[in-house]
Amino acid sequence: MAMIEELTRRVKQHESEQELRVIIIAAEGPVFSAGHNMRELLPEAGRQQHELVFKKSESLMMSIVESPVPVIAKVDGVAAAAGCQLVAQCDMAVCTDVSKFSTPGANFGIFCSTPGIPIARSVKKMTALRMLFTGLPITAQEAKECGLVSLVCAKEDLDAELLKITSAIIQKSRSVIELGKRFYYKQIRYDIGEAYSLGSTVMVDNINLKDGQEGIKSFVEKRKATWSHTFK
């Protein structure tokens, strides 16, 4: 629980600071995350304590969705149960080719129901249910194929691949990325006609941002844009 709180604090900590442009969630050692500490879920901890664990976990997950900047999982090793949930909940994930992903909760009597929430929203059903019902791990290559990660690479290329992504992000306006992220997670809830009705307005709002205007002008004038990174 201390780790969940710390992660949530870190995800939110600098969110209003212009200098924060992207968040990478990484781990030291061969385990990205093995999920919850089972000791905190022992019966004697009590229902209130259990509720607190999952409420805090939910807050961490929603802090990723609600973060104004892209959140990337950097995985080099094992991501299991709530650790696999954390990967699936990020906006993007890059992993090494030796990484493994699993949702083995039911082995220990606790079905990975909450990990299934972001997994069902990024992974194909036939793979998602195989993971959830069997608890068996999938390889990095399968994780790419089924939609759990954005990219797989060799360990020695991991930082370079991440750098390509982060460099591309920081060259853009922070406010434009934020506006885009918020709309993405909003529009996926609607049917396509409703999404387009909202979308036209968002595009026009974007153009009328200072950075929208600067972007278009710089493109037409064939010069590099200078971003304000604000919502003015």
Among positions 159-198, residues that touch a second copy (CB under 8 A) are 164-165, 168-169, 171-173, 176-177, 179-181, 183-185, 187-189, 191-193, 195-197
Dist. CA 128–CA 226, nearest whole Å: 43
CA atoms within 13 A on the CB side of 91: 24
Q: 129 Cβ partners below 8 Å, 6+ apart?
A: none
Q: Total residues contacting a second copy (rule CB under 8 A)?
A: 100
Contact of 162 with 170, CB cutoff 8 Å:
no
Contact of 96 with 116, CB cutoff 8 Å:
no
Among 114, 140, 153, 158, binds a second copy (CB under 8 A): 114
Among 4, 84, 92, 158, binds a second copy (CB under 8 A): 92
| Nearer Cβ to a second copy (69/77) | 69
| Nearer Cβ to a second copy (70/77) | 70
Among 2, 28, 29, 126, binds a second copy (CB under 8 A): 126
| Nearer Cβ to a second copy (83/118) | 118
Give, as ranges, the residues between 10 and 49 that touch a second copy (CB under 8 A).
38-39, 41-43, 47
Among 10, 124, 141, 163, binds a second copy (CB under 8 A): 124
Is residue 176 left, alpha or beta, with left meaning phi > 0 and alpha meaning psi from -120 to 50?
alpha
CB of 86 to a second copy, least distance (A): 13
Residue indicated by tokens 């396509």:
192
Q: Is the dihedral of CA 198, 204, 210, 213 positive or negative?
A: positive
| Nearer Cβ to a second copy (3/163) | 163
Give, as ranges, the residues between 127 and 166 that touch a second copy (CB under 8 A).
127-130, 132-136, 144-151, 164-165
64 to 40, 67, 100, 153, 221: CA distances (angstroms): 23, 5, 22, 24, 36
